[in-house]
Amino acid sequence: MSSVQAVPSPVRSPDLTPRDWLEAGQSLLRRGGLRALKLRPLADELRVSTGSFYHHFPDFDAYQGKLAEFYAETQVHDLVDSINRAAADPIDRIRLLGHTVRRRGGSRLAIAMRAWAESDGRARDAVERHDDILMAFLRDCLMATGFAEHQANVRAYALMALGLGKVHAPYLEMESLFEEQIAILCAPAR
């Protein structure tokens, strides 16, 4: 009779930070929306017990408030700062923003945050602050290329809205679509 020993699943280090919990929550939101954001799946995502959650947050409501705040403040500021350091050319900054958002699943997170904002004022305020920061970033990049403020705002809005859209268009080459949109929206008027 052979004895088979179970292989334990990998356990995450107990040295988690509040940011780890917030990023895990965003991962759940991206994949399943607000209905997926629950304590047990959150702990499973991090491979820890639910009890370790309470080392960082007094309750789930407080966690959700911090999650909304993280989306609206720390995370978007970090993103804009890193893009500003990485690229000097304003159009390259817009391009880098688009690539980063796509690579990180930012559109799916933004859609989930907007759905959450329909029922929670904290999420609504977070979405508005997040949008204000990204709109200002895009506007400033476009103004640096020569657009007047109003035109820069209109184009920044279009870029933001395009980033949130999930339109089925099999006749468009998705790999080149973003570059074509930049060419249309960011090229100075003649």
- CATH level 2 (architecture), domain 18-66: Orthogonal Bundle (1.10)
- What is the 3 state secondary structure string of 83-132? HHHHCCCHHHHHHHHHHHHHHHCHHHHHHHHHHHHCCCHHHHHHHHHHHH
Q: Where are the domains of the chain?
A: 18-66, 71-166+173-186
* Confidence (pTM): 0.83
Write out the DSSP string of the chain. Answer: ----PPPPPP---S---HHHHHHHHHHHHHHH-GGG--HHHHHHHHTS-GGGGGGT-SSHHHHHHHHHHHHHTHHHHHHHHHHHHH-SSHHHHHHHHHHHHHHHTHHHHHHHHHHHHTT-HHHHHHHHHHHHHHHHHHHHHHHHTT--HHHHHHHHHHHHHHHH-----TTS-HHHHHHHHHHHHHSPP-
What string of pLDDT tens digits covers the 190 residues of the chain? 444 454 444 444 558 999 999 999 999 999 999 999 999 999 999 999 999 999 999 999 999 999 999 999 889 999 999 999 999 999 999 999 988 988 888 889 999 999 999 999 999 999 999 999 999 999 999 999 999 999 999 999 999 888 766 666 777 777 788 888 888 888 876 5
